[in-house]
Every structure is written in C-alpha cells, then in structure tokens.
Chain A
C-alpha cells in the first residue's frame, strides 16, 4: 500500500509486519514515536506482542535478551544516551547469540545537551558484535527493518542487528512509503539454542579461556558469513518487492574521478552535490555507505575520496575516514561535518569536493 509516513512511523510499521512476540522499550527523543506507535499497535491488538514498558534502556535490552533466548522474535528502539545505557547488554546480546533487531535513531551525545543527528552514538558500539546498517529514506527505514529480522535470525548469523536512522532529519521527516505484505519473506524464528524447560541447560555460566576463545571466533565467523546472508536477503527482497539494496548505494560512480563517501541523509544529499559538480565538469560520484558492520569491501582504487564523517574519535579522527584508509589504502580528504545536527547542504558538500586535499582533515564551520 502506498502511503506517507515519518521515518519513525515506517520503522514501527515494519516492526509490526515482522510480528515480534516481545517489544521491550524505553522512550527517548527522537525515537519516542517508534515505541509510542508500537505500544498503540499492541493496545489496539494489531500487534500480538507482549509490550514491556521497562524502567530503563539497560532493562529494555535485558528483557529483549531474555525473550530472544527463549526463542521469541524481539524488537526494541532507542537513541543516543539510551543506546549508551544499554552498552553492557549490547555485548551480552551479541555474545549470547540473541538475534534482536533494534532501531537506533542517531543522536548526538551530551554534554552540551543536544537531540539532533550524529553517528557517534552508534559508532561507540562498534565492537559489541552487532551488525549495523544506516538508512537514508523513509522507504529504506521500512525495508531494512524488515530485512534485519531475516538477516539476524539466519542460522549462519544469529547476531543482533542495529538499524540506524538520522535523528529528526529522517526520524521526523514525512515522505512517501510503500508498505508490503511480508508473507513468508521472514521465515519463522527458530533459535537452535533456545531455552527449553523440558531440557534444562546452563546459560551464561563461567566459561574457561579455551571455550571462551572459540565462542569469540564463532561470532567473527558469523559476522563474516553475514555478508553473504545480507546479499542473499537484499536480492530476495528485490525479487519479491522490487527495491534493490547493496553494501553501498552508488550514484554516478562508474567513471568518477572523485567519490564522496557519507552515511545516512548526508549520503543522499551528496547525490545532489554530485549533479552540481558534474555540471561544472568535475567527474564526481557518491558512494553512500549502508553497512558499517560488517564493513564492506569498497572499490575505491585509483580514485580520489572525500569522506564526510558525522562522528569523531577524539585523538584519532573521523571513524569512516580511518576505516576507508585502513581497508582500501586510499588516503581520503576527511571532512568532519553535521555533528550535533549541524546543517550541511548539497552546496556545502560540493565545496568539500572542490577544496579536497588528500590526507587533510577539515572541520566544517570551524576550520574555515
């Protein structure tokens, strides 16, 4: 059905379509609309789930882990400080192999208190063992939330998935949305190690080093295998519903001399900048990075690269700029922009490309 929705409402609609058995969540701006909508679906009966209103995000994730370990499909949503408050449980969810799906509405971290878009919240959870994907449109927020369940619950993966969408610039924007009848796109959830009271087993017990080490390696094997599962899932989604996704969304990249790499809504705005630059005779392209974990193999050899990081790792640099340097060997022009919801327009992005200097770092609004 074709309709219009905000990014938040699209996520909630997709989560309902996936038929989770448990939703445990705590409200936080700018994510609140997601859990409000799911609570109202549960109250009206259109979502047949136990909705658990917990007292904190740490408890939300703990409740999700318990439910998922019992073999129940589980969803939650959070943002920023809420995500950070879950931190311990995020490691636990991945290590316990509970394939929870969570929407994270990307928001800056205080102080100063700020509710606008930034990606540092998600990147600070980089090493928890969660898959992380970043979306840029209301439609993509819906589609990817659906796909996330299938990817997470695949027996080759069994790791949780975080669907990231920009606070306000995507969570609160209204765009058209085509909802789907998901049918059997998401197979029934069958957790091989689900708690079974007829066959009691120990969970989370003291684990000696040699066993622990194998658990960790098994997580990494699954993370590596998830690349194939993601590709299969995206191909099957395209076959059934007609919309195609990949590790990146490439725009005019085929013959590009210079490629802009960004995530989320900035990655979409970059396409407008590319058109402007092409009209000036600059062979520019845009490569919007969609998957952050697992980090995809990017074909950037022989091109100049401008990376826009809506994040920062203090004492080190932009997270994406450094990820690209370390995985491709390309020395990018690193632009730090959009922190705390800073306005970045397509004209600004075109200017970043014009002034590029490989190996330099530029703080938009500060360096100039």
Chain B
C-alpha cells in the first residue's frame, strides 16, 4: 500500500486533489481511497488530505501517520506545519514552488503549479487552481499514469484548461 499526505490551505483544492489521485489510480486498475481531515475548515487555514493506493481492497480508515510521500500545495504551510512528520525514510516530497528548498534525507520535487495555473487563468474566487496541475506532476513521478490522470480530470471538470495545466505540469516537473 502506498500512502500520500497532502498539505494545502482551505480553498486551494487539496481535498479535490486527493479525490482526483484516487480516481486516476482507480483508472490504473488499483484500489484507492481518498479522504480529508475535516476540522473547522475555512479559507486559508492549513488543511490535510490523504490518499491510499493499493493492489488489494483497503480496510484502513484511520489517518495516515507514516506516509510514503508528501505533497505540499502551498509552501507557506511549511512555516507552521511539520509537513515531514512521520514521512518514511527517503520518502519524496513534492512542493508547489519555483524555488525548491533542500530537505535533508528526502528527495524534493519542485514544480511551480501556481505559475502554471495562472498562465492558464485557472483561478476560482481569487485562488489559483492547483488540484488539476498537481495530477500532471504526480503522473511524471509515476504515481499514476498520465492517461489516467487526464481521464480523472476530464471526468471531473468540463473546463479543458485543467487538462492543459496538468500536461504543462507534467512537462515542467523538475526532479
């Protein structure tokens, strides 16, 4: 079982990102579950969501304590949250940033999802949409196939710019 924890801020689409990853994994023929931790959500507050991907049916409902991978949709969350908490040894970190920080012991993958979203004018209520481009970046890392990522996005959103942004993130992904 592969476990992913996503850090974002309320309104950035971290919860939907988790659903889209599960949907893409499902298209890859895997079992997947996605769920957020719901607190007193409000725009701008740090939010955590989770994805489990497995070849077998998933029976675990509790939160992910030792993720295999961490995704950070808003790097400013790292000022107040230990996004590496419980992350497995050498577990990768995908960060939405143009200036990747060095993190000891973990490979850092950086991509400017905000820039990609703004280039497509993918903005809702003042917030750039990050949950569709991040699928492209995760497909580049091999978490899900590119075809399944695009299928999951196309099923969920009718605006074709979401797929364009995901493809752009796939291309721009730096290791």
Contacts and interface: CB of A to CB of B under 8 A. Distances in A.
Interface of A: 4, 30, 115-116, 166, 168-170, 172-176, 265-266, 268-269, 271-272, 343-346
10 contacts: A4-B22, A4-B32, A116-B38, A168-B35, A169-B35, A175-B32, A176-B32, A269-B60, A345-B65, A346-B62
A272 B35 contact: no
A344 B35 CA distance: 16
Nearest to B38: A168
B34 A115 contact: no
B33 interface: yes
A168 B23 CA distance: 19
Contacts of A173: 33-35, 61
The 10 nearest A-B residue pairs measured at CB: A265-B61, A345-B62, A173-B35, A174-B34, A174-B19, A268-B59, A169-B61, A271-B59, A174-B22, A175-B33
A4 B34 CA distance: 10
Contacts of A343: 62-63
A269 B31 CA distance: 16
A176 B26 contact: yes
Nearest to B65: A345
B59 A176 contact: no
B18 interface: yes
Contacts of A172: 35-36, 38
A272 B38 CA distance: 24
Given A4-B23, A269-B61, 12 more contacts: A168-B35, A169-B35, A173-B33, A173-B34, A173-B35, A173-B61, A174-B32, A174-B35, A175-B32, A175-B58, A176-B31, A272-B60
Contacts of A345: 60, 62, 65
Contacts of A265: 61
A272 B54 CA distance: 14
**Highest count of chain B CB atoms <10 Å: which of A116, A173, A174, A346:** A174
B101 to A, nearest CB: 30
Interface of B: 18-19, 22-23, 26, 31-36, 38, 58-63, 65
A358 to B, nearest CB: 26
A36 to B, nearest CB: 16
A302 B22 CA distance: 43
**Highest count of chain B CB atoms <10 Å: which of A168, A173, A271, A272:** A173
A346 B60 contact: yes
Contacts of B35: 168-169, 172-174
A175 B18 CA distance: 11
A29 B105 CA distance: 41
A364 to B, nearest CB: 13
Contacts of B33: 173-175
Contact of A174 (B18, B60, B62): B18
A168 B61 CA distance: 10
B61 A268 contact: yes
Contacts of A269: 59-62
A169 to B, nearest CB: 5
Contacts of B19: 4, 174
Contacts of A116: 38
A115 B37 CA distance: 12
**Highest count of chain A CB atoms <10 Å: which of B22, B31, B35, B36:** B35
Nearest to B36: A172
A99 to B, nearest CB: 31
Contacts of A166: 61
B61 to A, nearest CB: 4
B38 A115 contact: yes
A72 to B, nearest CB: 34
A344 B59 contact: no
A329 B157 CA distance: 56
B20 to A, nearest CB: 10
B129 to A, nearest CB: 19
B2 to A, nearest CB: 16
A218 B60 CA distance: 42
B59 A272 contact: yes
A74 B36 CA distance: 32
B151 to A, nearest CB: 12
Contacts of B60: 269, 272, 345-346
Nearest to B61: A265
